[in-house]
Amino acid sequence: MEMDITFPGGARVEARFGPYTVSTDQPPKGGGEGSAPTPFALFLASLGTCAGIYVLEFLRRRGLPWDGVTLKQHVRSNPETGMVEEVGLEIRLPAEFPEQYLAAIARSAELCAVKKHLEHPPRINVHATRR
């Protein structure tokens, strides 16, 4: 997969791939307008939404309703370094959700490809070229 990263103005940065454009911005205190999420917020959101896809598929395959099912993501950062130390994902299920599926639905969320890549991160190579 290739993405084209562009700078449309201010502190905004966009990623274009296929038919999609993902926009980011910085908050005003970071020199932006706050017109879009920060790149790091999108990174964190990709973890929660990826887990959500696996939860949704788990429910669909078993014919279970997803009304009232939500995920809550908690991020704990080190106050000294600002680095994320822990991300918790809580699958919030209705009271009538079958007990027999509680552990299995949590395991399904752990199959998320974003989570797996964080556990075994790829090498990231950065270089500059002239055109």
State the virtual CA torsion across 89, 75, 31, 11 in degrees, nearest 10: -30
Q: Which residues contact 2 (CB under 8 A, 6 or more apart)?
A: 17
Q: How confident is the model at residue 23 (pLDDT cuts 50, 70, 90)?
A: very high
pLDDT score, position 52? 98
Angle at the Cα of 9 (from 3 to 11), degrees rounded to 5?
A: 85
Q: What is the pLDDT of residues 51-75, one digit of tens each?
A: 999 999 999 999 999 999 999 999 9
The pTM score is: 0.89
Q: What is the pLDDT of residues 71-116, one digit of tens each?
A: 999 999 999 999 999 999 999 999 999 999 999 999 999 999 999 9
Q: How confident is the model at residue 10 (pLDDT cuts 50, 70, 90)?
A: very high
pLDDT score, position 67? 94
Number of alpha helices (DSSP H) and beta strands (DSSP E) in the chain: 3, 5
Q: Which residues contact 66 (CB under 8 A, 6 or more apart)?
A: 56, 59, 60
d(CA 27, CA 37): 8
The two structure tokens encoding residue 97: 């959700």
Residue type at 89 in one-letter notation? L
